[in-house]
Structure 1
Amino acid sequence: MATNYQIKIVALWVVFLLGTLFHTQLGLMPLFHGLNVIESQRATNINDISAIMWLMLGFFVLPMLAIIATVFNDSKRYKQVHFGLTIVYSILNFIHLLLDLLLPQVIWYQITLMVLLFLIGLLLNLVAFQWMKTPSRNYPSSEHLPTST
């Protein structure tokens, strides 16, 4: 069976996004039981956290766009950019994991989920790297071009 890297990448991005959403939901679950959630600092109004909300939006939107672009784009340049994006996300996940470990109250189910997300990210790095090394179907490499005699 032929390896379809694009399908693997889309599946890994979807799993990553679902895990990230679940990470956020787990952080809010205490609210449903009348408990407080852990906060880094108290905001007095929505403008205080506006920048954080925009960063979170970007963090979720970039993988969504990567999913769409991966389905429709097979160019060498896109594969390189996409691989770079997966590396950035792995670095951000690792930093997030470390910061979660430095919280005054370590929540181990969140740490477990973050480790899983980090490992999924590493697998995404590997598959994206493998895809980047394959020749594009739409843009053949020079080794596949006919030579003149």
Structure 2
Amino acid sequence: MMLNYRERIITLWTAFLLGTLFHTQLGLMPLFHGLSVAESQHASQLSDISVILWLMLGFFTLPILAIIATSFTESKRYRVLHFALTVVYSIMNLLHLVADLFVQPILWYQITLMVILLLIGLLLNLVSFQWMKLQPKSNKTQPRLTSPHS
């Protein structure tokens, strides 16, 4: 059975994005029950909120672009860049997990979800590394459409 790294990578990025979206939604769920939402830091002005929203947009957009690029290319340069991106995301997930441990009260359901996202990210690192190390397809000669004797 031939491994399809691209399909696995796309599946893992999709699972990661869904988990990240759920992490955001889960953090807002207390609002629907009239409860307050714990914050790790307060934005002091509109410009701070704008920066945070732009950073979040970038955080969500890069995996979307990675999904699209992975489905269309197998170039070695892209595979190396993609692996680096997965490592950056794993580091950011680990830092986010640690930061969430300092939010009071500790929301263990969020911590559990962040651990799951970190594990998905580490699996994405592994599969991406394997894909990066994969040798390019050999240039096999194309079969002739006509007989050589015609």
Partner of 1:29: 29
Partner of 1:134: 134
Question: 2:34 is aligned with what amino acid?
Answer: G
Distance 2:118 2:16 in 1: 9
Count residues with an aligned counterpart. Answer: 140
Distance 2:5 2:42 in 1: 44
Partner of 1:92: 92
RMSD: 1.6
Partner of 1:61: 61
Q: Secondary structure at the match of 1:55?
A: helix
**TM-score normalised per structure 2:** 0.88
Distance 1:136 1:46 in 2: 49
Distance 1:100 1:19 in 2: 15
Moved more, 88-97 or 127-136: 127-136
Distance 1:42 1:95 in 2: 18
Shift of 1:136: 2.5
Distance 2:25 2:129 in 1: 31
Question: 1:7 is aligned with what amino acid?
Answer: E
Q: Would you say the 8 A contact 2:38–2:103 is kept in 1?
A: no
Question: 1:52 is aligned with what amino acid?
Answer: I
2:101 equivalent to 1:108: no
Partner of 1:47: 47
Distance 1:118 1:45 in 2: 31
Ranges in structure 2 where 5+ consecutive residues have no aligned partner = 141-150
**TM-score normalised per structure 1:** 0.89
Shift of 1:44: 5.7
Q: Would you say the 8 A contact 2:38–2:104 is kept in 1?
A: no
Question: 1:15 is aligned with what amino acid?
Answer: A
